[in-house]
Structure 1
Amino acid sequence: MTTFFKPVEGGCCGMTQQGHENLVASWKRAWEGHGWDAPVLKANCACRHPSFEALDQKLLEGKCIQIR
């Protein structure tokens, strides 16, 4: 299980930046607690994926997407 986390300076969505970091850390611990390897990619790694720009734009626009 892999995810990508791109911090928003100062936080967003009613949460502080630290709140978002705590949430990602909780996600990681929960998956790892069930035996999964759960790396959290940073921007310099995730942005190498060919669909990164399109996905990032859709997330910024708040659109629901389906990835296969």
Structure 2
Amino acid sequence: MSTVSIAYGTLRERLVRLQVQGGGFRVNDANFPASYQALSEAAEILDVSPVPKLYLHRGTGHIASYATR
């Protein structure tokens, strides 16, 4: 992979992360306890540590969810 491809991939990832974090809201055990519990259980089963952050984002007529590091 070229340096340009790597830099573009990193920039694209940052832009998507900013869009998700800025346009959605973070799920935690206070606002969506059942969803957060499911996320925690999935992370434990998959041996992912720490538990990823989960964001909900309202799009065009539907709600999408994103997990980030």
Q: Does TM, scored on the shorter chain, surpass 0.5?
A: no
Structure with bigger strand share is 2
Higher relative contact order (CA 8 A, sep 6+): 1
Larger radius of gyration between Structure 1 and Structure 2: 2
TM-score (norm 1): 0.32
